[in-house]
Structure 1
Amino acid sequence: MNCPCCSGKSYDECCKPYHHGEKHAPTAEALMRSRFSAFAIPNGEYLMDTTFPAKRKLHNKEDLQEWGEINEWTKLEIIRKPNSNQVEFKAFYTDDNGKPQIHHELSDFKQKNDRWYYVKGKFLS
């Protein structure tokens, strides 16, 4: 199966090793891609585990899992990487009402103990 993150690689050689804890994403972009795939699969536990520990209280695994389940995640487009800690992207999906949606965000990531984590995102129009 092709990886949901639109890398052009198979899921087995792209995001699956991150999702299964075999290795950690080496860059903020790789983490962002793996998180998109975790919504598409869905894998709420991975989404929580890759959220910066101090920010986890703002999220919960069940809601992340549900958002992945109720939507059909169809495409990821990386817009730009202003620096090594930020990724601007568009996530394309179809919501539970069958309506196409675009989630456009500039995400901030932080490295701690040689692991990348999602910190926060700013929604863009």
Structure 2
Amino acid sequence: MPADDAPCPCGWGEPYGRCCGALHRGEREATTAEALMRSRYSAFAVGDAAYLLRSWHPGTRPAALDLDDDVRWLHLAVTAVERGGPFDDEGVVAFEAVARADGRRHVQGERSRFAREGGRWVYVDGSPT
């Protein structure tokens, strides 16, 4: 895990401890679908599989998640946001995430769907872009 004063991997410009680190530790919940998506990207970047599973919709969540330690997540760019605000029950966030694996650069684009479940945002599923 990064130090609390390190830049947050999500790219919002806040220190990890006040940004996604607080969500990863369960100190607060994401208030928007975009905030949840950014926190999930950060969880991939720091290797927090438990948070990824906790923030996944129970109807689509896998039983387990094995993260690849050889993948290094480098950059996140949010390309579109549809709904997913504090007063919405559903939202969509499109993004591109850049990683390095096997000595090569990889770009993963996804259009992710989010929903409120029990009053909190959860990741439902995604489709490649």
After TM superposition, the score normalised by the length of structure 1 is: 0.90
* Structure 2 partner of 1:78: 78
- Alpha-carbon distance in 2 for matches of 1:26, 1:59: 26
Instruction: Give the Cα–Cα distance (whole angstroms) in 1 for the partners of residues 115 and 98 of structure 2.
Output: 24
Letter in 2 for 1:3: C
Whole-angstrom distance in 1 between the partners of 2:75 and 2:9 = 7
Gaps of 5+ in 1: none
* CA deviation string 1:46-95 (max 9, x = no partner): 00000001111x3523x2xx23x221100000001122210000011101
Query: Which residue matches 1:88?
Result: 94
1:60 corresponds to: 64
Q: In the alignment, is residue 20 of structure 1 matched against residue 9 of structure 2?
A: no
Give runs of ≥4 in structure 1 deviating > 3 Å. Answer: none
- Whether 1:29 aligns to 2:34 is yes
SS of equivalent to 1:16 = helix
Distance 1:43 1:9, change over 3 A: same
Q: Any unmatched runs of 5+ in structure 2?
A: 1-5, 85-90
Identity of aligned residues (%): 36
- Alignment length, in residue pairs? 118
- In the other structure, the counterpart of 2:3 is none
Alignment RMSD:
1.0
Name the structure 2 match of 1:43: 48
| Residue in 2 that maps onto 1:119 | 124
